[in-house]
A and B are shown apart, each in its own frame.
Chain A
Amino acid sequence: METEQLIRTLAADNLHRARPVGLVLALALLAAAPVSMVMFLTEFGVRPDVMTAMHNPFFDLKFVVTLALAVSAIVVSLHLSRPEASLKGWAWLLLIPAGILATAIASEMMMPQRLPMMTRLIGSNSRVCMTAIPLMSLPLLAAALIGLRHGAPTRPAVAGAIAGLLSAGLAATLYASHCTDDSPLFVATWYTISIALVTAIGALVGPRVLRF
């Protein structure tokens, strides 16, 4: 086909309007959320002492950290869905949850504790944590990738990794209400390992599914 003909054809299709990437991402995540929710309710469920736990600031803080991660990853992934975008100037957003967590660890250190540090770090749910977060992430990761696929990410591995962070952040928010380990040391260790795993999956899958 002649390029001239192609150009005329594209111009004839000018009135077609694609949905914004943010909208497609939101719709995909909304569609996947019930799947993760069902996994959560059937396999894990909210911890029985949740009403008491809510008075513990370190329980509440888990949600602040995981939601901060999810929100900053959403913002960065929308940025990266544009072809000319790079992480430069945006990566610091992802440090916000890490900063909150570091502050939490420091304040826990300053308080008197019943349990020794290593006991708090190792906790009693590490294995569930490392299963639950990646499993509940998967539907959300697929959704995030579908959303980003609608964009034009020219760094598909990075965009895939951010999609992993995003989905793991959301899954960790669900998991946090199940987990009885509230120490920021536990969160910094086991949540981080689980989230890193999902991020790695995203980075591996990204180049395969995000090409356009």
Chain B
Amino acid sequence: MRETEDEWTGLMRLAISGDSAAYHRLLKAVTPVLRAGARRGLARAGQPVDQSEDVVQDILLAVHLKRHTWDAKAPFAPWLFAIARNKLIDALRRRGRRVFVNIDDFAETIPDEPVAETVSASEIAAQLQSLPARQRDVLQSIAVESASIKDTAAKFAMSEGAVRVALHRALASLTARLREQ
């Protein structure tokens, strides 16, 4: 467990220094743990656990957009779990639940049950439609069609810089829309 957390911290440091592959690996590594925590939290609140993937995706977006608040000298797990708890509380509130989030929901780094590798959730997909056309096109190209930034730039006759800006804006506005809903 400690080893896992140290590995996360190391990957996050690499990610911050510009290693996108390390970042990809880190997000993949934390997702099952987040999923298990989200399921535990939803079950405790008497909510159907099949909504857990929306919570997981919410957490991942927040982790991404707020990673500049992580102190690279500190361990990564406490920061991650603080974000995760906050997002779980948010999700339960939105569903009109009185919130008793057990702080242990996200305190374990070992997922208690294996879950299928690819899991789908509906909230992001629903909000995707309300994004400005350019942002939506770029996001869809990269997320759904697995195109690279370079290919996406060529496809829409944009510069790579413009694709990067549109992609980041799309993620930020997606998060804002999920928050407001």
Contacts and interface: CB of A to CB of B under 8 A. Distances in A.
Interface of A: 1-21, 81-84, 151-152, 154, 211-212
A17 to B, nearest CB: 7
A14 B18 contact: yes
Contacts of B143: 1, 5-6, 8-9
Interface in B31-49: 31
A163 to B, nearest CB: 16
Given A84-B78, A211-B179, A11 B23 contact: yes
Interface of B: 15, 18-21, 23-24, 27-28, 31, 53, 56-57, 60-62, 64-71, 74, 78-79, 81-83, 85-86, 90, 117-121, 124-125, 128, 139, 142-144, 146, 148-149, 164, 167-168, 171, 175, 179
A10 B171 contact: yes
Contact of A21 (B65, B68, B120, B179): B68
Nearest to B18: A15
A18 B64 CA distance: 10
Given A7-B31, A154-B86, A12 B142 contact: yes
Contacts, number: 119
A1 B171 CA distance: 13
B82 A154 contact: yes
A2 B54 CA distance: 10
B79 A15 contact: no
A192 B158 CA distance: 56
